[in-house]
Structure 1
């Protein structure tokens, strides 16, 4: 048997073991829900569009984030991501950013990952605080994420 034939047989054998382990592996419980919801805010003229998002990168872990578009001429502001747990509204993750100067399109902001409780649902609320007028957008929520 040539070296090439032995190497090919070894690769095929390894691929077969891997495929059979995937077929017979126990099923994992997956998170449900999550994703993004998009919002727009008019403040004089329209300054901001944003998506409030949440996902589960691995079992039992939630990842809040947001995508913000600010148009040129927007007032000074801060962006807050705050993730709450259902049934008591416990804050599980929070981060506040200064808004970038000038226009940005779909700038990505994150809040720390959190370890959730099985059966609980979590929502990421993203708020834009207009610091010059001391006003804010509504705290707009992502879809609910339920961790396994």
Structure 2
């Protein structure tokens, strides 16, 4: 009897998966590209920086810019700039400035708001740029670091 109940449960589970697949359809376009790119720098211990800059599509037509940052203890006060841009003029579609926490932190997530850009042209892509500005006004890295390009459907 126990085997019969287990077999029935497996059949029900498989049927549910098949029904979900059929109901969601197969002709929807998916986002392509995106992901993360990494960077690390810093000869001076206090200004060591490690970052991963990312972009993803959490749902149809929506982009999510974020990144992860690691700083060692003793780092100067800083701000994290994160923005998403669209190809074709580098129009900013999302932007956020964060204040760095004091003390060491590892792979802390920083994000700009999700965006839905209904004015994009077919084939255009989006990327996240992330940069840290120290309290003395200098930048690390000296240029914004970029994620891979993402194309939204």
Deviations 1:27-59 (A, max 9, x none): 321111101001112253352100110000011
CA–CA separation in structure 1 for the residues paired with 2:52 and 2:16: 43
TM-score, structure 2 normalization: 0.81
Question: Where does the alignment leave 5 or more consecutive residues of structure 2 unmatched?
Answer: none
Task: Please name the residue that 1:123 is paired with.
Answer: 127
Report the alpha carbon displacement of residue 14 of structure 1 after superposing the two structures with TM: 8.5
Whether 1:59 aligns to 2:63 is: no
Within 5 A, what are the aligned runs for 1:63-142? 63-116=64-117, 117=120, 118-132=122-136, 134-136=137-139, 137=141, 138-142=143-147
Q: Does 1:40 find its partner at 2:40?
A: yes
Q: CA shift at 1:110, angstroms?
A: 1.1
Deviation at 1:20, TM superposition (A): 4.7
SS in 2 for 1:115: coil
Structure 1 runs of 4+ with >4 Å offset: 11-15
Write the distance in 1 (CA, Å) between the matches of 2:72 and 2:20.
Answer: 51
Q: When the two structures are aligned, how many residues end up with a matched partner?
A: 141
Q: Which residue of 2 aligns with 1:143?
A: 148
When normalised by structure 1's length, the TM-score is 0.84
1:61 Cα deviation (Å)?
0.5
Of 111-120 and 122-131, deviating more is 111-120
* Deviation at residue 75 of structure 1 after TM alignment: 1.1
CA RMSD of aligned residues (A): 2.4
- Where 1:94 maps in the other structure, the secondary structure is strand
Which residue of the partner structure matches residue 31 of structure 1? Answer: 31
